A and B are shown apart, each in its own frame.
Chain A
Amino acid sequence: MENRSFYNEILTEHNIHPEFKYDMPDADIVLEGVNPSCGDDIFLKLKLDGDVISDGAFIGDGCAISQASADIMLGMIIGKHKDEALKLGETFLKMIQGEASEEEIDSLEEASALRDIAHMPARVKCAVLGWRTLKEALGNHDEA
């Protein structure tokens, strides 16, 4: 049976073999993110070196979209300045809302594999769970 769903290889690979899904007991910031609709529940763990995210990981469980999205996100933000990570988060949100330009979507690298979620309102919360938690963790409580 051909795969008519949007579960592409990037997504399934990050879901089954996540690079950053492990416990990080000495993290500087730990924040739980919950998405009640799918029961997704993650703990985002970050280490900071000044304003730079020096390392990060997550634990928890949930649907493939939430898990893959969080894993992809960590791969993109580690080593980046807080502001840069938050900027990526904003672009990601724009993409999910179907408002990002092709150029902006390109800047999201692997996270652009989730662009089709824009057409699936029920799963948007899964895709943004990691990014939303990141935004809260970095103390930016401006409009979500």
Chain B
Amino acid sequence: MYNYKNDFPLLANSTVAYLDNAATAQRPQCVIDAEDNFYRTCNANPMRGLYPLSIAATDAYEDAREAVRAFLNAKSTSEIIFTRNTTEGLNLIAYSYGLTQVHAGDEVLVSIMEHHSNLLPWQMVCRQTGATLRFIECRPDGSVDLDEIAAQITDKTKIVAMTQVSNVLGRENPIRAVADLAHAKGAVMVVDGAQSTPHKAVDVQALGADFLAFSGHKIFGPMGIGALYGRKELLKKMPPFLSGGEMIESVTREGAVFAELPHKFEAGTVNAAGAVGLHAAINYLQKIGYEEMERRETALVARALAGMKEMPYVHVLGSELAEEHTGIVAFAVDGVHPHDISEILAADDIAVRAGHHCAQPLLKHLGYNSTVRASFAFYNTEEEVDRLLASVSTLRERMGYGK
């Protein structure tokens, strides 16, 4: 079996068991090369110059946009806005769409399992507009009740914001069904795709998403580049998020005519090299294929879950089924604080995340202050899972609890 770590210079040259992929993935050589190559061969400010270098830069940037369009199965490249990351994409929606379309007395519905970046922007919108923020709860296994959601979405609901995959539980939400409920009441569906895009094919049309944001760095692309999909009819009526260069047709002393989509939302010099790197990342993961990635990740999760089940002092959050974890295993160990766990695992050359994972309301809802999270990518190995399990099995003893 091919060792995918060979594609990733950091992993090929390291002994670390990198199990923090839900925070950020590693980058393959082809992504590093693509970014490097942009600066070496076609670096100029895209959109501005009319000379060949600038045209090459513009083409490289727009080719990347087309790659993202195809990646998400959007209808048009005018619906793809490059951002820095998911957080920026979600903030763009909140500031531009939320603040102009939500009014006092309206409601915004979010799920309890949102990452803070799909919660705080909506808190801001509700605070500023006088709307009410409501929550979709989840069961301990992470599942949601569609009947309950149907009852929560009313004529007052203007926005339903939900993550496709929880960054703590790894469970996939029934986005299509929730989107249908939202649309039936005239609300728009905002989807956080940060944790789904690294693991499964995402089709914004099939999902019924009106907006979907994701980060390049979680899908093996560079840091500092991400994309936001928005349905054209909605983007058209939205005001710009940031103003300045590159987003205008013409400017007078008093005002401006804004550029066409998607440039209206891309003020200032863009991260073209990042977009080119993201393009390479999309090509890379499509070459491997989500089917292969998912198969490998599910096998790793299954191995981890089975091993942890043998340890009565370990408690895994979410479903008992590996296929409902999307590569993410968050857990707690009786008597050992998550930060101490990650410290000990680090001493064993294993990198995991500890804390609230930017999802404090969810952890509180599930009865935890913080947990440890091991998150797998397709390049991780069974040997790494076994190292994790071996370390976890020694935690209590090493913290002084005896055998």
Question: Which of A7, A123, A126 is most buried by chain B, counting CB atoms within 10 A of its CB?
Answer: A7
Given known pairs A39-B356, A123-B343, the reply for A62 and B337 (CB within 8 Å) is: yes
Given known pairs A38-B337, A39-B369, A64-B340, the reply for A3 and B355 (CB within 8 Å) is: no
> Is A9 in contact with B400, judged by CB distance below 8 angstroms?
yes
> Is A15 in contact with B399, judged by CB distance below 8 angstroms?
yes
Q: Does A4 contact B (CB under 8 A)?
A: yes
> Is B355 in contact with A39, judged by CB distance below 8 angstroms?
yes
CB distance from B263 to the nearest CB of A (A): 40
The digit string for B309-352, where 1 denotes a CB below 8 A from any CB of A, is 00000000000000000000000000111111001101110000
Q: Does A144 contact B (CB under 8 A)?
A: no
The digit string for A46-79, where 1 denotes a CB below 8 A from any CB of B, is 0000000000000001111100000000000000
Range for the number of chain A residues in contact with chain B: 20 to 34
Q: Which of B85-93, B373-381, B390-398 contacts A (4 or more CB under 8 A)?
A: B390-398
Interchain CA distance A39-B369 in the complex, whole Å: 7
B394 contacts across to A, CB distance below 8 A: 1
Given known pairs A9-B400, A16-B400, the reply for A123 and B339 (CB within 8 Å) is: yes
The digit string for B359-394, where 1 denotes a CB below 8 A from any CB of A, is 000000000011000000000000000000011001
Q: Does B2 contact A (CB under 8 A)?
A: no
> Is B348 in contact with A15, judged by CB distance below 8 angstroms?
no
Q: Does B51 contact A (CB under 8 A)?
A: no
CB distance from B332 to the nearest CB of A (A): 13
> Is A13 in contact with B391, judged by CB distance below 8 angstroms?
no
Complex: chain B residue closest to A65, CB-CB: B340
> Is A4 in contact with B400, judged by CB distance below 8 angstroms?
no
A126 contacts across to B, CB distance below 8 A: 339
Partner of B340, one of A3, A7, A9, A37: A7
B398 contacts across to A, CB distance below 8 A: 1, 3, 5, 7, 12
Interchain CA distance A31-B326 in the complex, whole Å: 43
CB distance from A33 to the nearest CB of B (A): 16
> Is A13 in contact with B340, judged by CB distance below 8 angstroms?
no
Given known pairs A4-B348, A9-B400, A12-B400, the reply for A39 and B340 (CB within 8 Å) is: no
A13 contacts across to B, CB distance below 8 A: 400
Partner of A16, one of B348, B355, B399: B399
> Is B347 in contact with A4, judged by CB distance below 8 angstroms?
yes
B344 contacts across to A, CB distance below 8 A: 5, 7
The digit string for A105-141, where 1 denotes a CB below 8 A from any CB of B, is 0000000000000001001001000000000000000
Partner of B390, one of A1, A4, A120: A1
A15 contacts across to B, CB distance below 8 A: 399-400
> Is A1 in contact with B348, judged by CB distance below 8 angstroms?
yes
Interchain CA distance A120-B344 in the complex, whole Å: 12
> Is A16 in contact with B340, judged by CB distance below 8 angstroms?
no
Interchain CA distance A131-B233 in the complex, whole Å: 58
Complex: chain B residue closest to A64, CB-CB: B340
A61 contacts across to B, CB distance below 8 A: 369
> Is A63 in contact with B399, judged by CB distance below 8 angstroms?
no
A4 contacts across to B, CB distance below 8 A: 347-348
B339 contacts across to A, CB distance below 8 A: 37-38, 63, 65, 123, 126
CB distance from A62 to the nearest CB of B (A): 7
Interchain CA distance A15-B339 in the complex, whole Å: 14
CB distance from B352 to the nearest CB of A (A): 14
Question: Which of B339, B344, B355, B369 is most buried by chain A, counting CB atoms within 10 A of its CB?
Answer: B339
CB distance from A93 to the nearest CB of B (A): 20
> Is B391 in contact with A64, judged by CB distance below 8 angstroms?
no
Given known pairs A12-B399, A16-B401, the reply for A63 and B335 (CB within 8 Å) is: no
CB distance from B260 to the nearest CB of A (A): 44
> Is B337 in contact with A1, judged by CB distance below 8 angstroms?
no
CB distance from A8 to the nearest CB of B (A): 9
B390 contacts across to A, CB distance below 8 A: 1
Interchain CA distance A39-B390 in the complex, whole Å: 27
Given known pairs A39-B356, A39-B369, the reply for A5 and B400 (CB within 8 Å) is: no
> Is B348 in contact with A63, judged by CB distance below 8 angstroms?
no
Given known pairs A1-B391, A123-B343, A126-B339, the reply for A7 and B348 (CB within 8 Å) is: no
Give A residues with C-beta under 8 Å from B: 1, 3-5, 7, 9, 12-13, 15-16, 37-39, 61-65, 120, 123, 126
Between A and B, 13 residue pairs with Cβ closer than 8 Å are A1-B391, A3-B347, A5-B344, A5-B398, A12-B399, A12-B400, A16-B335, A38-B339, A38-B370, A39-B369, A62-B337, A63-B338, A126-B339
Given A1-B390, A12-B400, A64-B337: 5 more A-B contacts, CB < 8 Å: A5-B398, A7-B343, A7-B399, A39-B370, A61-B369
